[in-house]
Structure 1
Amino acid sequence: MTAAIHLYRTLTQAASPFLGGLMKRRARAGKEDYGRINERLARNMPRRMPGGTLVWLHGASVGESQLLLELGQRLLEKRPDLLLLFTSQTQTSARLLGPALPDRAIHLMAPLDTPAIARRFIQHWQPDLCIFGEGEFWPNLILEAEKSGAKRALVNGRMTDSSAEGWQKLSRAFQRLVGRFDVVLAADTDTARRLETLLDQPVQSTGNMKSALPPPSASDVEIRRLRENFLGDRRCILAASTHDGEEAIFLDALKGNDDTALIIAPRHPDRGDAIESLLKTRGLPLARRSRGETPTPRTRILLADTMGEMGLWYRLADAVFLGGGHTEGVGGHNPLEPVRLGRPVVTGPDVFNFATMMDDLEKRGLIRRLKTPKAIGKALLTMEPPAAEALAALNEQADAPMTVTLEALLPLLPEPGLLQ
């Protein structure tokens, strides 16, 4: 064990007596669910499902959870005997995963990373395979999983230059934690290069697995109802997955185009009050989805502050402003959902989490990265839908990263019926 890991374990163990109080304070602030604090502390957990090989899939938030949900479903298609345990860090991801879980799967809030909590969690669930999504490196959980004999895999690994620089200072610790994984797969060639430097071993770039995610579904009845009662003959422009400050950029971009219907679907629906205040300050007529308000042809903006309806908003939109590219530290969001639904997409320039994908899509003419409200507004009002040939080529390649990942993971699973 390296000195850095030893120090981390010592500090996290020392913090353990204070975590219960911290979780309650976070719950009062709306950052945790009171009813799920025990899950964060690995206490009073559900019984392990009897029999079968258990695969634990862990991701931080919404994007990683969607990816791992699709991966879990693909694993079940290959191995129906599997039991799946999903964990994630945020309430938003928990609300997304809950109703979408397949049979033989459960979701828990991710356990806090102290030695005792990690030990309780691993000993209780006894996973056969632990899959960590994108960049979730929690030392105590990783070490306890290794100690238990579980196989470990990093899938769709993503690492920015700044993260790599930070880990370079702790390269021995990183090698001790991730270098012993059974499978390490990167989402792009830049991440693969950074991981190879840190680990001093080859790392395969599969491509971004999010390309294999199907576009979110939507009710045909609801699409027709909103087209008739809200949009009418108006052009509709969607601001999707926006963060603080990006709604103002979107509104500035379309100022003066009063004959256009707008939909704002924030990344975090709990920001609805703040966005409503912004819209009222600007004197814009709105309807708020979370309150069940019905938009009419006189409604300028539908504030879509709900979960699980992005497929509906994408299908109503003629063009999409994708958030995350104008907010420091976010690094952009996955553009493939609206692109694959045939929508022209504009996003901001700061998309480091999807740099390789954005480069490729922009070369194909499927997205545009723009900075100023003036340029964004002009593009949203004039861009044509993606060419059918470009979309067909994209869809042909979309499933390859998922296929390669499955081929790497399946050999790590014990054969059905073998004693564990």
Structure 2
Amino acid sequence: MLIRLFPKIEVSTQKPVLWFHCASVGEFNTAKPILLELKKHFFILLTYFSPRAKAFLLKQKEFYDALHPLPLDLPFSVGRFLKQVRPVALLIMERELWYFLIKKVKVKKILLNAYAKGSVLEKMLSKEFDLIVCRTEEDKKRFESFGAKSTACGNLKFVLEREEKDVEINLPKGKTIVVGSIHPSELEFIKAFYTKMSERFKDLNLVLVPRHLSKVDFFMKELADFKPCLRSSSRTDCRVVVVDTLGELFYLYKHGDLCMVGGSFSKGIGGHNLLEPVCHRKLTVFGPYTQKVKDLEGFVLSKGLGFKVKSVQEAVEVATRVISGQVSFPADFDLAGYAKQIKDCYMFWIKRCLQIGG
């Protein structure tokens, strides 16, 4: 907390400093393709809000030049940080709308991958940005109704560029279901689903990735009847594996004969990134609560890349069809081409706003 109240950082560079802020790991992963492009022109100072993100971000140094937690949203803390780093611009991902941060920073400000909710704070602060690059035309129109300068390029989550690496997991022989970003409130759904699926498929593995590592012990206790083991144990005889390592979910999806995305199987969460399995040409199964990822849902369903299920039994029927090969990933779908259009749009508007040549 002290480092946020009294930020301290030394920046030594001949390049102009670009302050880039992400809330946590998810927003950072979404920003990676943009960060790589901007790093060619700027010294990237990356800030983050979630304390859990630090360990992961320290291993991602190819995407930035300096790392610091976000200063507390107080005039003194923000002002102290600004004097130390002297940025030429501030870029913020998604919905990190901190009042004093946005009011006190007087250089160019850009909000990326933005979506509008219509809150009082949003209406007040959106006008402070020199540019807001939105996910949808609807978001663009809403920001414009607040008096903000905005454009629409699509959802950056479609641009799933990741470094090339193999993340292996040793599992017993059989079919595998990878369930990502699961919350405690969704465990009953997953347990019932896996029980029914195990009745249909004799040798069935379940790789379960909690949304928050702090909940791993709870997951292990709740799954005790399935005799789970932790990913970090490196055991090879477990049918049910709870992943207790950070930053691996994207790569683990490739091991699934079926992939499911959490945050969508219980009320109050709104869904997580439905596209990560798609990047590995895996069909995506998700639940009925997807209010935060409606654009991703619409895309996935319209292209035949996944299924929305409303009950455990419906999930079992869909999963059975996928695992048995009755349905498969569309052979002609090109996510890379679609993603390139979105990335190019973002970079065009960012370069224009920041007056970057080339």
Same fold (TM over 0.5): yes
Q: 1:58 aligns with which of 4, 17, 21?
A: 21
Q: Is the 8 A contact 1:345 1:366 kept in 2?
A: yes
Cα deviation, residue 113, structure 1? 0.5
Given residue 135 of structure 1, which amino acid in structure 2 is its aligned partner?
Answer: R
Cα deviation, residue 358, structure 1? 1.0
| Cα shift readout 1:129-159 (whole Å, capped 9, x = no counterpart) | 100111111110111112xxx1110111023
Q: Is the 8 A contact 2:180 2:208 kept in 1?
A: yes
The secondary structure found in structure 2 opposite 1:375 is helix
Q: Is the 8 A contact 2:262 2:286 kept in 1?
A: yes
- Which residue number in structure 2 is paired with residue 99 of structure 1? 59
Q: 1:324 to 1:415 in 2, by over 3 A?
A: closer
Given residue 398 of structure 1, which amino acid in structure 2 is its aligned partner?
Answer: A
| Cα shift readout 1:42-73 (whole Å, capped 9, x = no counterpart) | 33x22012321111111212221112233111
The secondary structure found in structure 2 opposite 1:121 is helix
Q: 2:290 aligns with which of 351, 354, 370?
A: 351
Q: 1:47 aligns with which of 5, 10, 19?
A: 10
Q: Distance in 1 between matches of 2:57 and 2:253?
A: 20
- Which residue number in structure 2 is paired with residue 360 of structure 1? 299
- Which residue number in structure 2 is paired with residue 333 of structure 1? 272
TM-score, length basis structure 2: 0.91
Q: Distance in 2 between matches of 1:65 and 1:396?
A: 22
- Which residue number in structure 2 is paired with residue 111 of structure 1? 71
Q: 1:191 aligns with which of 132, 135, 139?
A: 139
| Cα shift readout 1:188-226 (whole Å, capped 9, x = no counterpart) | 223223212222x56311100111122565427x35xx2
> Do residues 157 (structure 1) and 97 (structure 2) align?
no
Given residue 28 of structure 2, which amino acid in structure 1 is its aligned partner?
Answer: S
Q: 1:377 to 1:39 in 2, by over 3 A?
A: farther
Percent identity between matched residues is 23
Q: Say which one has the larger Rg.
A: 1
Cα deviation, residue 39, structure 1? 3.0
- Which residue number in structure 2 is paired with residue 380 of structure 1? 319
Superposition pairs of residues 75-154 of structure 1, within 5 angstroms: 75-77=38-40, 79=41, 82-102=42-62, 105-146=65-106, 150-154=107-111
The unaligned stretches of length 5 or more in structure 2 are: none
Q: 2:239 aligns with which of 281, 300, 305?
A: 300
The unaligned stretches of length 5 or more in structure 1 are: 1-36
The secondary structure found in structure 2 opposite 1:334 is coil
Q: Distance in 2 between matches of 1:251 and 1:382?
A: 19
Q: 1:122 to 1:366 in 2, by over 3 A?
A: same
The secondary structure found in structure 1 opposite 2:223 is helix
Q: 2:257 aligns with which of 315, 318, 322?
A: 318
Q: 2:151 aligns with which of 204, 209, 217?
A: 204
The secondary structure found in structure 2 opposite 1:398 is helix
Question: Would you tell me which structure has more helix in proportion to its own residues?
Answer: 1
Q: 1:59 to 1:329 in 2, by over 3 A?
A: farther
Cα deviation, residue 293, structure 1? 4.1
Q: 1:98 to 1:70 in 2, by over 3 A?
A: farther
Q: Distance in 2 between matches of 1:364 and 1:65?
A: 27
Q: 2:205 aligns with which of 247, 261, 270?
A: 261
- Which residue number in structure 2 is paired with residue 219 of structure 1? 166
Q: Is the 8 A contact 2:126 2:143 kept in 1?
A: no
- Which residue number in structure 1 is paired with residue 336 of structure 2? 395
Q: How many residues align?
A: 349
Q: 1:301 to 1:104 in 2, by over 3 A?
A: closer
Ranges of 4+ aligned residues in structure 1 off by more than 3 Å: 215-218, 411-416
Q: Distance in 2 between matches of 1:257 and 1:397?
A: 34
Q: 1:348 to 1:193 in 2, by over 3 A?
A: farther
